[in-house]
Amino acid sequence: MNRTQLVSTIRQKKTYLCVGLDTDITKIPIHLLSEPDPVFSFNKAIIDATKDHCVAYKINTAFYESRGLKGWESMERTVRYIPDTHFRIADAKRGDIGNTSAQYAKTFFEILPFDAVTVAPYMGEDSVRPFLEYPDKWTIVLALTSNTGSKDFQQLGMAEGDCLYERVLETTASWGSTKNLMFVVGATKTTELEHIRTIIPDHFLLVPGVGAQGGSLKEVSASGMNKDCGLLINASRAIIFADDTEKFAKKAAAVAAAYSAEMAAYLH
C-alpha cells in the first residue's frame, strides 16, 4: 500500500486506528483453546469485528515466534487473512548487517505480504537500506519509544545539544522519503511530539501506547497530526483483550468503534 492509498483510506474511513494483534495465547478466551489454531481463530474474530473501524493491523511477531512453528503458522494465516484494504505491519524490530537485513526484508515483503516492518536503526544506514529497496513497502524506524528505558539511550544529550533520538530522526529521514519511511513515537511522549514535527513534518508516525499504556488519543492527535493526518495510532490490549468471554469480538468492535469515532472528530 503506497502513501496515496493510505491517506485515501484514512480520509474515506475517517479513522487512523491501527489494531495491534499482540495475541498472547494465555489471555485469549478459554473456549477457543479447543480450536485447531486458537490464536488464528481469535485473530480472525478480532479482524472480522474491527475491520470497519480501523485502517491498519500491527502484528507483534514476538507473540508468534515464541510459540515456534505453530506460532509462525498462526502469524502467516493471520497476515494473509487481513484484507488488502488494510495496512499490514510486522512489528519485528529487525536490524542487522546488510546481507542479513536483506533476508529479513525478503521474509516480510516477499514471503509474507506485509506492507511495513519496524526496524532498529542502531547499526546504521546499511542495516536499513535493504528494507527501503522495496517499492510501495514501508520501513518504520524506532525513534522515541514509550518504555521507561528510552531514557538510557534515545534521550541522551549529544555534544551539539541535541538528543540522540533527534539525530536518528534527522539522519534516517535522509535515507528514504515520506513515501517509504515512518517513525515510531510513543503515545506517552506527547511533550516531544510537537518538536518532532519540526524535524519531520511530513512523515507518517506509528504511535503505540494509547489505551493500556495510558497515552492520550486527544493529545497525540493535537500534537502529531499533519495535513495528510500522518498518524497511525495503535491500540492493542485495550481492544483485543477488552473481554475474555464468548462476547470478546463484540466488545473489541465496540472499543475500536469508540476510538474511530473520536478520531473522526480530530481529522481535518
Which structural domains are found in the chain, ordered by start?
A: 3-164+174-266 (3.20.20.70)
Contact 88, 59 (CB under 8 A): yes
Whether 93 is a known active-site residue: answer yes
At residue 260, does pLDDT exceed 90? yes
Distances (CA, A) of 169 to 3, 87, 135, 150, 207: 19, 23, 22, 15, 15
Q: What is the pLDDT of residue 211?
A: 66
Higher pLDDT, 25 or 164: 25
Q: Which residue among 14, 70, 93, 179 is the active-site one?
A: 93
What mean pLDDT is predicted for residues 137-155? Answer: 86
For residues 189 and 208, give the distance between their C-alpha atoms in angstroms, rounded to a whole number.
10
Q: What is the pLDDT of residue 141?
A: 97
- For residue 2, the one-letter residue type is N
For residues 198 and 234, give the distance between their C-alpha atoms in angstroms, rounded to a whole number.
22
For residues 105 and 6, give the distance between their C-alpha atoms in angstroms, rounded to a whole number.
21
At residue 9, does pLDDT exceed 70? yes
Q: What is the pLDDT of residue 42?
A: 98
In tens, the pLDDT along 172-182 reads 999 999 999 99
With bands split at pLDDT 50, 70 and 90, how would you rate the model's confidence at 264? very high
In tens, the pLDDT along 94-116 reads 999 989 999 999 999 999 999 99
Q: What is the pLDDT of residue 159?
A: 66
Distances (CA, A) of 53 to 11, 19, 60, 63, 262: 13, 9, 20, 24, 11
Q: Which phi-psi region, left, alpha or beta, contains residue 87 (left: φ > 0; alpha: ψ -120 to 50)?
A: beta
State the DSSP string of 167-225.
Answer: HHHHHHHTTS-TTTEEEEE-TT-HHHHHHHHHHSSSSEEEE--BSTT-B-HHHHHHHH-
The distance in angstroms from the start CA to the end CA of the chain is: 22
> According to the per-residue pLDDT averaged within each range, which of 52-61, 141-150, 152-161, 208-217 is highest?
52-61
At residue 188, does pLDDT exceed 80? no
pTM: 0.95
Provide the 8-state DSSP code for 31. G
At residue 163, does pLDDT exceed 90? no
Distances (CA, A) of 216 to 45, 189, 211: 27, 10, 8
Q: What is the pLDDT of residue 164?
A: 86
At residue 119, does pLDDT exceed 80? yes
Higher pLDDT, 76 or 155: 76
Is 77 in a helix, a strand, or coil? helix
At residue 157, does pLDDT exceed 80? no
Q: What is the pLDDT of residue 32?
A: 98
